[in-house]
Amino acid sequence: MISEADPALAATAENRELKRAIAALRAELEHAGERSELAGVHAMSNVHAEIAQLRSAVAALRVELERERALREEAVRDAEFAGQGEIRQLKATVAALHGALEQARLEAEPRVHQAVAHAKEEIAQLRATGAALRDELERARIAHEETVAAAQAQHRAEIAQLQSTVRELRARLQAGAAESRGAE
């Protein structure tokens, strides 16, 4: 931007210089008029020639400034056009990526549903297996309790039978001992 503004600044600076030069020349012209009319006419002629030359230079600088301005505007338009092209390209890329992402989602969705269904099926099977194992464990516990109860009942019956046998043997022993005392 500075390089684009330099011609304008240079033209402005030169214009100021030209104005100063013109002012200096006018002052010189006034002094020359006082010295001599002939020298004044001659100096005036030189001043007019220089002014014409300066005006010509100013006009040339204006033309150059306008040309630079037109070139800058064209460069701005070119940059805007290139920027718009890049924006269009980026939008197309974004749209393509969005489409690819959507396609990937659509392709993955059935696999996800299938995996979820498979997982639910496996969970149901595991729950059924767990319930079956609980039932089997409960049956085994009941069978064990029944076996323990039967063994305890059998032991109680054996104990009762043994106690009965002990009582019977004791009674016989006591009866045998009483007979032997009575026989003595």
Amino acid identity of 105?
R
111: domain range?
2-182
Q: Choose among 13, 9, 4, 3: nearest CA to 70.
A: 4
CA end-to-end span of the chain: 153
Q: Give the model's confidence band at 179: pLDDT under 50 very low, under 70 low, under 90 confident, else very high.
A: confident
Q: Residue 1: what pLDDT? A: 45
Mean pLDDT on 162-170: 93
pTM of the model: 0.35
Q: Residue 90: what pLDDT? A: 87
Would the pLDDT of 59 be above 50? yes
Would the pLDDT of 164 be above 90? yes
Q: Rounded to an integer, what distance in angstroms lies between the CA atom of residue 45 and that of residue 25?
A: 11
Q: Choose among 54, 49, 47, 52: nearest CA to 19.
A: 54
How many structural domains compose the chain? 1
Mean pLDDT on 157-171: 93
Q: Residue 168: what pLDDT? A: 92
